[in-house]
Structure 1
Amino acid sequence: MAEYKAFQVELADKIAHVQINRPEKINAMNVDFWSEIIEIFRWIDETDEVRVVVLSGAGKHFSSGIDLMMLAQVANDLGKDVGRNADVLRRKILQLQASFNAVDQCRKPVLAAIQGYCLGGAIDLVSACDMRYCTEDAQFSIKEIDMGMAADVGTLQRLPRIIGDGMMRELAFTGRTIDGHEAREIGLVNRTYADQSALLDGVMQLAGQIAEKSPVAIRGTKEMIRYMRDHRVDDGLEYIATWNAAMLQSADLRVAMAAHMSKQKPEFAD
């Protein structure tokens, strides 16, 4: 497994634990972060042994968002011509978006375990995950508004489908901070835990349950959920019919049915 500067990655029991590993910088997202996360999720997608992903942050905080030193570097690359500056900025924004698109488009379920700060770009990141869990004292904020800009890496596009349009607008316009309790109330996280240790234990347990399921069934379920974000119900029904015309021929279906009838735990191939 490759070594990374901004992450620590471990694979055990078919669970890939991807940990942002810059605790001394509050896990701020630097240049290495944005390129490495694409490499990591490409590896996850291509590695059949990985069935589920847990995304966390080392230390007291999940992430404080984009590294301000990186923003300063982007500013230094700008010149005097407005048109050329606009082209540079647009390409940079699309590049950053691709990093979180890699998380969103991953074939395997991604569970975010959040403690402490989850600010700015970190909201963009967890919005691209399938499920989110946090400690009671976690702090969430769409901080971009306080920096004089609109969030541009996925929050405004993905978050309305998670917490609803009205609540997303309130948080995006005010930049106010919410804790773990309110995050659960509005549906940003599925559940809260007393502390970081309980959080990781709980999320790993959930990941373990998912890892026991048929990889073919999990892949199809995630694909259909993602597809329905941008399509009508009849489109989705047509797609699942075509998808399952192939996937229902998988050996996993026979394995699952045999295990159910014999009251035994099924064992699926990677």
Structure 2
Amino acid sequence: MEVKYKTLEIVNTNPNSGVVYLYLNRPSQRNALSRDFFSEFPEALSSLDQNPNVNVVVLAGAGSHFCSGIDLKTLSSAADPASSADRGRFAERLRREIKFLQDAITAIEQCRKPVIALVHGACIGGGIDIITACDIRFCSKDAFFSVKEVDVGMTADLGTLQRLPTIVGFGNAMELALTGRRFSGSEAKELGLVSRVFVSKEELEEGVRVVAEGIAAKSPLAVTGTKAVLLRSREQTVEQGLDYVATWNSAMLISDDLTEAVSAQIQKRKAVFAKL
């Protein structure tokens, strides 16, 4: 039985493609991230990760915007010290709450399947946290971005300050985070935050579909391995990374996928891989 979420919607438009769409689904609130989202999001990603019929996840926003950031009610309730008269205990509880919120975003990286961000309209604050954890990012021309936390009196704490520098460079990340300024989809492309900008939302959706279905048709062992090795390589020297991928491939390289991929190329046909 399909799970119904308060803040999300899973849509499978083409069951044979291996591509599933996961929508942030609070359009009337511009998909602001409520407390429910942080419980539901990792659960939904885990279910898609474990589903053998899913090869790629496309993450999008319902309505006119991708995500306007964390719901202010979520922020205010987390930072309310009234529930504890002891400052130390309040601080310890707040730290656990922040870690809980962080884990929901990190679930994107923990998902073995590639997650592609489809961004239109606003992508602000927590929206940046989300897309920087995604594997590929595309946007429409109308998209705009802002690392907004500094303007609401806080330090971004859900992953932007850790992931954004590796994507756009340290200096660019510092400037964006300190100013909180709004920047366009075209600038996001120049910075390397997104791979491509599409003229309209319709062209964005079609472009993402083509890319997602292309990835979904490849060897699932090769795709999940590529994601895992690239993520691990962020934290390693070249020598350590080479050692890691040698160990990975010594376990995964000899598979039916390799045989099928080579045979398909020789026979000039489309490869057909077993589900993962």
Aligned residue identity for 2:154:
M
Cα distance change on mapping 1:243 and 1:75 into 2, 3 Å: closer
Instruction: Please give the alpha-carbon distance, in whole angstroms, between the structure 1 residues aligned to 2:93 and 2:245.
Output: 40
| TM-score normalised according to structure 2 size | 0.96
**Residue by residue, what CA displacement relative to the aligned partner does 1:29-82 show, whole Å, maximum 9, x if unpaired?**
001111110101111221121101100000110010100111222234543432
2:113 is paired with a residue whose SS is: coil
**Sequence identity (%):** 47
Instruction: Please give the alpha-carbon distance, in whole angstroms, between the structure 2 residues aligned to 1:175 and 1:245.
Output: 45
Q: Structure 1 stretches of 5 or more lacking a match?
A: none
After alignment, is 70-79 or 98-107 more displaced?
Answer: 70-79
Indicate yes or no: 2:61 matched with 1:60.
no
4+ aligned runs moved over 6 Å, structure 1: none
Among residues 97, 107, 112, which one is paired with 1:107 in the alignment?
112
Instruction: Please give the alpha-carbon distance, in whole angstroms, between the structure 1 residues aligned to 2:86 and 2:179.
Output: 33
- Contact 2:79–2:94 under 8 Å retained in 1: no
Counterpart of 2:8 in structure 1 is 7
Q: Structure 2 stretches of 5 or more lacking a match?
A: none
Indicate yes or no: 2:52 matched with 1:48.
yes
Q: CA deviation at 1:239?
A: 1.2
Instruction: Please give the alpha-carbon distance, in whole angstroms, between the structure 2 residues aligned to 1:4 and 1:92.
Output: 21
**Residue by residue, what CA displacement relative to the aligned partner does 1:200-242 show, whole Å, maximum 9, x if unpaired?**
1111110000000000000111111011010111111111111
Indicate yes or no: 2:260 matched with 1:255.
yes
After alignment, is 76-85 or 196-205 more displaced?
Answer: 76-85
Aligned residue identity for 1:101:
T
Instruction: Please give the alpha-carbon distance, in whole angstroms, between the structure 1 residues aligned to 2:251 and 2:93.
Output: 44
Equivalences for residues 54-203 of structure 1 within 5 A = 54-76=58-80, 78=82, 79-203=84-208
Indicate yes or no: 2:240 matched with 1:239.
no
Instruction: Please give the alpha-carbon distance, in whole angstroms, between the structure 1 residues aligned to 2:254 and 2:239.
Output: 23
- Contact 2:165–2:173 under 8 Å retained in 1: yes
Instruction: Please give the alpha-carbon distance, in whole angstroms, between the structure 1 residues aligned to 2:200 and 2:40.
Output: 28
| TM-score normalised according to structure 1 size | 0.98
Instruction: Please give the alpha-carbon distance, in whole angstroms, between the structure 1 residues aligned to 2:28 and 2:254.
Output: 50
Aligned residue identity for 1:69:
K
Aligned residue identity for 2:11:
E
Instruction: Please give the alpha-carbon distance, in whole angstroms, between the structure 2 residues aligned to 1:73 and 1:245.
Output: 49
2:236 is paired with a residue whose SS is: coil
Instruction: Please give the alpha-carbon distance, in whole angstroms, between the structure 1 residues aligned to 2:147 and 2:130.
Output: 12
